[in-house]
Amino acid sequence: EIMGAGMFGLHNFPDDPNWRGWWGDEPPFGCPVFVLTHKPRPSIEMAGGTTFHFLNTTPVDALQQAVRVANGKDVRIGGGPTVVRDYLKAGLV
């Protein structure tokens, strides 16, 4: 899964290093999630198999990392219009 920082909630809590998302202790993803952000932070392991990795990188690089970790499984891209538009412009979806 790839998502933007807004979907994670970082725009609402930009200065809170303890913010762990809006979904509680067990996010609904159950897989590694790569969060595109301008302010990297340490990865967060959550219950149910979700680990959030915060990346300050290009959409292409984030997708390459997600594909590598997915090891042949599907990769989903989620987020707001900025994230989706970036992937569409890059011809990645």
Domain boundaries, the chain: 2-89
CA distance 7 to 78: 8
CA distances from 64 to 10, 14, 26, 60, 88 (A): 23, 26, 26, 6, 15
pTM, two decimal places? 0.86
Q: What is the structure's pLDDT at 10?
A: 77
Q: How confident is the model over 6-63, as pLDDT tens digits?
A: 788 777 777 787 778 888 889 999 999 999 998 888 999 999 999 999 999 999 999 9
| E-strand stretches of the chain | 2-4, 32-36, 44-45, 51-55, 77-78
Q: What is the structure's pLDDT at 82?
A: 87
Amino acid at 37: T
* CATH number attached to the domain at 2-89: 3.40.430.10
